[in-house]
C-alpha cells in the first residue's frame, strides 16, 4: 500500500482525494507542516509515500506519471512529490528542513502559507538529489493561488482528454513503419483492454512467446497449411510483443522480471521460429539448417554492432555531442518527412522483418524465406555499419573509461585472453589507433577462413584458433577508446559464430548443424544478457561465468580441437553437450540475477533491428 499525505484540508469540491485513492494511495490529511512531517515519519520505510498540496488541480494521469512510476526513487510535478524506499531519507531531510520555514498561525490550527510540496522539491534539488520530472505535454498539473486561477485550471483540465494522451504515450515515439501504421493503431487498445482486466505486461509477454512457439511448431510440420498458420501466428505474436510494452507504459508497470522477459523473449521467439522453419524444410527434404544458423549469426552480429556503437558514443558525461558531417547529414534528412520512414524501413527493424518472414513463410518455402532474410539483413547491416564508421571517423569525441569498460565487457574475453593481456600491454600501446579493430578483424578472418576452406578435422584450424587467441588478447590489451574500437566486440561475435557454423557445415552428418545452432543460441543468449545488464547500469555478467564458459576465444579453441580430435558423429555429440552446458550456466545465472532485488527495474523498449 502507498500513502499520500495532503498538507492541509482539501478544497471543497476537489476530486483530489478520490484521484489519489484510484491510484492506490491511502490518503492522510495533515493540518500543517509539523503534522505532515510526523505523518511522513510514521509511514513504514518500505512503502511509497507522496506529499501533495491539497489545492492541486490537474489530470489524474499527471499524478499517475509522477507518483506511481516504479523506476524512480524520487519524482515530482507541481504540487506533488513522491519517494520510494531508496529516496525516503532524502525526502525526510528536505521535509525537516522546510518545516521550520513553513508559515503558521498560532490560532485556529496551522495553515501552510505556500506549497510545502514544491518547497520540499526545491530543497531536494539544492541537496543534489535526482528528482524525476515526467514530461506532461498538454496535461495540467498546477497549484492555483486564488479562486479565479482554480476555475481556469479546471477549465484547462476539462479541455484536454488525459485518457487519449495516456493511450498515445503508451506507444513508443520512434518505431518502424510497419509497427507505427499497421500494429500500434489497434494494439494500444488491446493494451488498455488488458489493463482494465488486471493483466500484466509479463503475462502478455509470455503469451507472445507461447504464440511464437506455436507458430514455430506449425512451421515445423512442413505442410503448406502449417506454413500458412505459422505466418499468421507470427504476426499475432508480434502484435502481442508490441502490446506488452504499451501495457507497461499505459499502466506504468515496470519490473525486474519484466525487463528480463522482454529483453530476451524477442530473440528466443525469432530464433525458435528459424529452427521451426529449418525442421519444416527438412521434413520436405530440404536441408536449410546452415541458412537458419547463418540468419541467426547475422542478426546477432547486427545487434552487437548497435549495442557497441551506442556504448562507445554515450552523449553526456562520457562524450561530446556528435558533430560529424555524417550526423549533420542525417539530421538534415530527418527534416524531410518521407526519408525518415525510408531510412527506418531499410534497416529492416523487427516489425518489417517479422512481417516479411511471416508473409514469405505463408506463400513460399523456407529456403526462399531464409534467402530473403539473409539478403535483407546483410544490406541493412552494411548500411548501418558503414554510416556508423563514417560517424566515428569524423566525430570529435572525448572517450573515457566508462564506454571503454562497457566495450571490454561486451568483448566477453575469457581466461586465455586474461593470461596474455599483461605481457601484451606494452606492445599494444605502441600500435596505431586503429590497431584494435584491425587485429580483431584479421584474427577472426583467419580462423573462420581456415575452418571454411580446409575442411573438417584438419590441424590448421587449431593453429588458426591459437592465432585467434593471440590476436584477441592483443586487441583488448589496451583500453578500447579508439574511434573504431566499438567494432571489436562485433568482430569477436562474427569470428566465434562463423567458426562454429563452418566446422558444423563441413562435418556433413545429420545433427551437426542443429547442434551448432543450439550452441550459438546459448552463447548468443549470454551475450544479450550481458548487453541488458550494462544497459540497466547493473554491470556486466560476473567474471566467474565468463571464465566458466571459456570466453569467446576459449570456445573457438575448444570447438577447433574437438573437430580435429573427434569423428564427425562424435563432434556432433560434443557440440550438443557443450550447448547444453553453456545454456544451463548462463540461464541459471541470468534467472538468478533478473529475479533478484538488485536487478534494474526497467522495461525494454525494443531494439531497432
pLDDT for res 117:
93
For residue 171, the 8-state DSSP code is S
- CA 12 – CA 579 distance, rounded (Å): 67
Per-residue pLDDT tens for 81-140? 999 999 999 999 999 988 765 544 433 333 334 789 999 999 999 999 999 999 999 999
Q: 269: closest CA among 304, 290, 244?
A: 244
Q: What is the mean pLDDT of the chain?
A: 89
Asked if the model's pLDDT at residue 40 lies above 90, the reply is yes
Kindly tell me the sign of the dihedral angle through the C-alpha atoms of 573, 576, 578, 580. Answer: negative
Task: Estimate the crossing angle of helix 256-283 against helix 201-220, to 10 degrees.
Answer: 10
Asked if the model's pLDDT at residue 298 lies above 50, the reply is yes
Q: Identify the three-state secondary structure at position 81.
A: strand
pLDDT for res 110:
38
Asked if the model's pLDDT at residue 329 lies above 90, the reply is no
Going by their DSSP bridges, the two strands 49-52 and 2-6 should be labelled as parallel
pLDDT for res 106:
38
Number of alpha carbons in the 13 Å side-chain half-sphere of residue 218? 20
Report the Cα–Cα distance between both ends of the chain, in Å, rounded: 39
Mean pLDDT to the nearest integer, 301-308: 93
Question: Which is more confident, 604 or 558?
Answer: 558
- CA 587 – CA 20 distance, rounded (Å): 41
Mean pLDDT to the nearest integer, 237-258: 90
Q: For a pLDDT cut of 90, what percent of the chain falls above it?
A: 73
pLDDT for res 334:
55
Q: Identify the three-state secondary structure at position 479.
A: coil
Q: In the chain, what are the domains?
A: 2-160 (3.90.550), 173-315+326-398 (1.20.120.1760), 401-600 (1.20.120)
Grade residue 601 by pLDDT with cuts at 50, 70 and 90: low
pLDDT for res 317:
40
Question: Which is more confident, 424 or 257?
Answer: 424
Q: 91: closest CA among 62, 121, 134?
A: 121
Asked if the model's pLDDT at residue 602 lies above 60, the reply is no
Other CB atoms closer than 10 Å to residue 520's CB: what's the count? Answer: 25
Grade residue 398 by pLDDT with cuts at 50, 70 and 90: low
Asked if the model's pLDDT at residue 355 lies above 90, the reply is yes
Per-residue pLDDT tens for 52-79? 999 999 999 999 999 999 989 999 999 9
Per-residue pLDDT tens for 137-194? 999 999 998 899 999 999 999 999 999 999 999 998 778 889 999 999 999 999 999 9
**Is there a contact between 374 and 294 (Cβ–Cβ < 8 Å)?**
yes
Separation of CA 425 from chain center: 33
Asked if the model's pLDDT at residue 313 lies above 90, the reply is no
C-alpha grid cell for residue 512? 551437426
Amino acid at each position: 500500500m502507498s500513502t499520500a499525505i495532503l498538507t492541509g484540508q482539501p478544497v471543497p469540491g476537489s476530486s483530489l482525494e478520490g484521484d489519489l485513492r484510484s491510484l492506490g494511495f491511502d490518503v492522510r490529511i495533515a493540518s500543517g507542516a509539523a503534522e505532515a512531517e510526523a505523518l511522513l515519519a510514521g509511514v513504514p520505510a518500505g512503502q511509497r509515500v507522496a506529499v501533495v498540496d491539497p489545492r492541486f488541480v490537474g489530470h489524474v494521469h499527471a499524478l499517475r506519471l509522477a507518483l506511481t512510476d516504479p523506476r524512480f526513487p524520487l519524482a515530482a510535478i507541481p504540487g506533488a512529490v513522491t519517494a520510494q524506499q531508496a529516496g525516503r531519507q532524502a525526502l525526510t531531510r528536505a521535509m525537516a528542513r522546510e518545516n521550520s520555514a513553513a508559515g503558521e498561525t498560532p490560532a485556529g490550527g496551522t495553515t501552510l502559507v505556500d506549497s510545502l510540496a514544491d518547497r520540499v522539491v526545491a530543497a531536494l534539488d539544492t541537496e543534489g538529489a535526482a528528482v524525476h520530472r515526467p514530461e506532461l505535454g498538454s496535461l495540467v498539473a498546477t497549484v492555483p493561488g486564488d479562486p479565479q486561477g482554480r476555475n481556469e485550471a479546471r477549465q484547462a483540465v476539462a479541455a484536454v482528454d488525459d485518457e487519449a494522451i495516456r493511450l498515445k504515450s503508451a506507444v513508443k515515439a520512434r518505431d518502424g513503419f510497419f509497427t507505427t501504421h499497421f500494429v500500434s493503431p489497434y494494439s494500444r487498445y488491446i493494451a488498455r483492454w488488458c489493463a482494465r482486466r488486471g493483466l500484466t505486461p509479463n503475462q502478455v509477454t509470455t503469451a507472445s512467446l507461447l504464440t511464437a512457439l506455436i507458430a514455430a511448431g506449425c512451421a515445423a510440420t512442413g505442410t503448406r497449411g502449417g506454413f500458412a498458420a505459422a505466418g499468421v501466428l507470427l504476426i499475432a505474436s508480434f502484435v502481442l510483443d508490441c502490446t506488452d510494452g504499451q501495457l507497461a507504459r499505459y499502466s506504468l508497470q515496470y519490473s525486474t522480471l519484466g525487463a528480463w522477459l522482454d529483453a530476451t523473449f524477442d530473440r528466443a521467439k525469432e530464433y525458435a521460429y528459424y529452427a521451426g522453419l529449418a525442421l519444416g524444410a527438412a521434413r520436405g527434404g530440404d536441408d536449410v539448417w546452415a541458412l537458419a544458423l547463418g540468419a541467426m549469426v547475422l542478426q546477432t552480429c547486427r545487434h552487437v554492432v548497435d549495442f557497441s556503437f551506442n556504448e562507445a558514443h554515450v552523449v553526456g558525461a562520457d562524450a561530446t555531442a556528435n558533430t560529424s558531417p555524417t550526423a549533420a547529414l542525417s539530421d538534415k534528412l530527418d527534416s524531410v518527412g518521407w526519408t525518415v520512414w525510408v531510412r527506418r524501413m531499410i534497416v529492416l527493424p523487427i516489425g518489417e522483418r517479422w512481417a516479411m518472414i511471416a508473409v514469405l513463410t505463408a506463400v513460399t518455402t523456407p529456403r526462399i524465406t531464409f534467402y530473403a532474410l539473409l539478403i535483407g539483413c546483410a544490406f541493412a547491416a552494411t548500411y548501418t555499419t558503414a554510416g556508423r564508421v563514417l560517424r566515428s571517423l569524423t566525430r570529435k569525441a572525448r572517450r573515457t573509461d566508462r564506454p571503454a569498460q562497457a566495450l571490454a565487457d561486451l568483448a566477453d574475453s575469457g581466461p586465455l585472453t586474461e593470461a596474455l593481456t599483461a605481457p601484451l600491454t606494452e606492445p599494444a600501446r605502441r600500435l596505431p589507433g586503429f590497431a584494435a579493430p584491425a587485429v580483431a578483424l584479421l584474427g577472426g578472418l583467419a580462423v573462420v577462413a581456415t575452418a571454411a576452406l580446409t575442411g573438417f578435422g584438419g590441424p590448421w584450424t587449431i593453429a588458426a584458433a591459437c592465432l585467434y587467441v593471440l590476436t584477441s588478447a592483443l586487441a583488448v590489451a589496451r583500453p578500447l577508446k579508439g574511434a573504431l574500437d566499438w567494432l571489436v566486440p562485433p568482430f569477436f561475435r562474427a569470428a566465434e559464430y562463423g567458426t562454429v557454423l563452418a566446422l558444423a557445415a563441413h562435418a556433413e552428418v545429420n545433427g551437426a548443424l542443429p547442434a551448432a545452432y543450439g550452441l550459438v543460441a546459448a552463447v548468443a543468449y549470454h551475450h544479450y544478457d550481458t548487453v541488458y545488464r550494462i544497459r540497466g547500469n547493473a554491470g556486466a555478467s560476473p567474471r566467474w561465468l565468463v571464465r566458466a564458459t571459456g570466453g569467446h576465444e576459449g570456445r573457438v579453441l575448444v570447438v577447433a580441437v574437438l573437430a580435429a580430435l573427434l569423428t564427425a558423429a562424435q563432434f556432433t555429440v560434443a557440440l550438443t553437450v557443450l550447448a547444453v552446458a553453456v545454456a544451463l550456466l548462463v540461464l541459471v545465472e541470468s534467472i538468478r540475477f533478473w529475479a533478484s532485488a538488485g536487478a534494474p527495474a526497467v522495461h525494454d523498449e525494443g531494439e531497432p533491428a
